[in-house]
Structure 1
Amino acid sequence: MTKPVIWITGASSGIGAATAQKFSKEGFAVILSSRNEGDLEAVKNSCAHPEACAILPLDLADSDSLQGKAAKAISLFGHVDLMFHNGGISQRSLAIETQMEVDRKIMEVNFFGTIALTKAILPHFQQRKSGHFAVTSSLVGIIGSPYRSTYAASKHALHGYFDSLRAEHAIDNVVVTMICPGFIKTNVSVNALTADGKSLNQMDDAQANGMSAEKCATKIYQGIKSKKEEIYIGGKEVMAIYLKRFFPGIFSKILLKAKVR
């Protein structure tokens, strides 16, 4: 029996690596992608079935290369069932201080790179009349918070794009699941860009005390299996979504007082 195939970007660490391990354990063939081939090799060896894992390095900032990467991914196992867009970069800087080239880099990686890869794999899904996009957004893809202006913008953009795509390709049995994590214990804040484009190189306290990547991966697997349109993952910070939705004025006042960095 042919294994279902998941292709994961941002698979070299954190949520991507934990999700690769979870889906491998659940019987999926896994295609691992990120810029760091050495780290991908380590993730492959940590999976339950490394013989059913393949490494495909890519750079989301190099949009012109992604059509070829999609063709290669399809050739590895003959098909792709699930495209997990997890690659991206975060931000820790005030909007007024952030250089435009940093804003552009965040949008290029988080939005345009993801969209280019989507356009590259979508005809394959359309031809097969089957396919699933899972997209790592963030709670700030629904609510904005200080020091994350362009990061939030890139995630908001993903919601708009994939909500439209879901409606356009329901006829092709293409499913879209937006994944909105809160504070997950990964290096996302360590690698976040500051105002001049340098990495923050330190972990936020909220991140350090957040949910484990492994628990997050289990919730991602369950949400994808259930074909949910959106899943919210985290602790009490998830309540901010509902506060923003139903009591926006109160949420804004809380956000003004919050010490979020």
Structure 2
Amino acid sequence: MFSGQVVWITGASSGIGEAVALEMATEGASLILSARRESELTRVKEACVARGAAAENVMVLPLDVTDEASLAEKVAEARAFKGCIDMLYNNAGISQRSTCLETDMATYRRLFEVDVFGQIALTKEVLPVMLEQGNGHMAVTASVAGKVGAPKRTGYCAAKHAMMGFFDALRAETSKDGIFVTTITPGFIRTAISENALKGDGTEFGKMDENISGGMDVTDCAKVIMRGFKKKKKEIAVGKGMEMNALWVKRFFPNMLFKMVERLG
């Protein structure tokens, strides 16, 4: 399905982004790998080539999604790579580990710049390309936190709720134009997300949460996402822990869920 497709992945230097890039390489996709750390993107490119991708079919395109002024030029570079952009997978993001009272407004704004406005700005730049093509696939890594509020995640939950809303609305707007939209809601996945999370003052949390360390293997996560892409799922829930039950508990027994997360606090 992805052979010959041009897939642009942000946040591709580690975690879910890297794991999905490796799966896409195995499937024969042409890849555009973006994140801030060029050296790590180069490492991921080498890993993709080891998986069977031709070096000329993997582009390293360093990108800071919060640098809105640079995005039009970056999109032009991405399009020039193979002449089209078949999929944009918005995967860049940061998390949070602080209570509301501990969290500076600057930290809330940083979370929204990366997790919300950066994703929206890049999507808006790529959307005209896909509309001109008459087809395309937009995807975003949201989170179970995009549907369930959790303690010490007020900013992160707010940002991920925003992403769910934005991309659900975008789907409704663009389905008639041949644009497909997928939201991905991971639970606890073994990545560096908690280590890179922001404390209230904006510094890095620097530790792995117990629930993250016991979460789903990131390669297994990527395989679930790939299966969802192939089935054209509008929403892909991925995880193995009790947190995944929260999605249906909230739907059918919301008060029960609220009590559960209150105990976590």
TM-score above 0.5: yes
Give the corresponding residue for 1:173. Answer: 178
Taking the aligned partners of 1:143 and 1:242, their CA distance within structure 2 comes to 10
Aligned equivalents of 2:229, 2:177: Cα separation in 1: 18
2:102 corresponds to which of 97, 121, 130: 97
2:230 equivalent in structure 1: 225
Partner of 2:245: 239
Match in the other structure for 1:6 = 7
Root-mean-square deviation (CA, aligned residues, Å) is 1.2
Amino acid at match of 1:26: E
Distance (Å, rounded) in 1 between the aligned partners of 2:146 and 2:72: 26
Q: Which residue is 1:202 aligned to?
A: 207
Residue of structure 2 in register with 1:42 after alignment = 43
Counting only pairs closer than 5 Å after superposition, residues 53-132 of structure 1 correspond to structure 2 as 53-132=58-137
- Partner-residue secondary structure (3-state), 2:243: helix
Matched residues, number: 259
Kindly indicate whether the alpha-carbon contact (under 8 Å) linking 1:44 and 1:50 is maintained by their aligned counterparts in 2.
no
* Conserved? CA contact 1:134–1:224, under 8 Å: no
Give the deviation of 1:258 after TM superposition.
Answer: 2.1
**Cα distance per residue 1:23-80 (max 9 Å; x no partner):** 0101101100000000000000001215121100000111121111111111111111
TM-score by length of 2: 0.96
- 1:213-246 deviations in Å (ceiling 9; x for gaps): 1011111111111111111110132111111111
Matched, 1:257 2:258: no
- Aligned partner of 2:140 in structure 1 is 135
Counterpart residue identity of residue 18, structure 1:
A
For 1:50 and 1:227, the matched residues in 2 are separated by 26
Q: Which runs of 5+ in 2 are unaligned?
A: none
Report the identity percentage.
45
SS at match of 2:140: strand
SS in 2 for 1:180: strand
Q: Normalising by structure 1, report the TM-score.
A: 0.97
Structure 1: how far apart are the matches of 2:199 and 2:224? 30
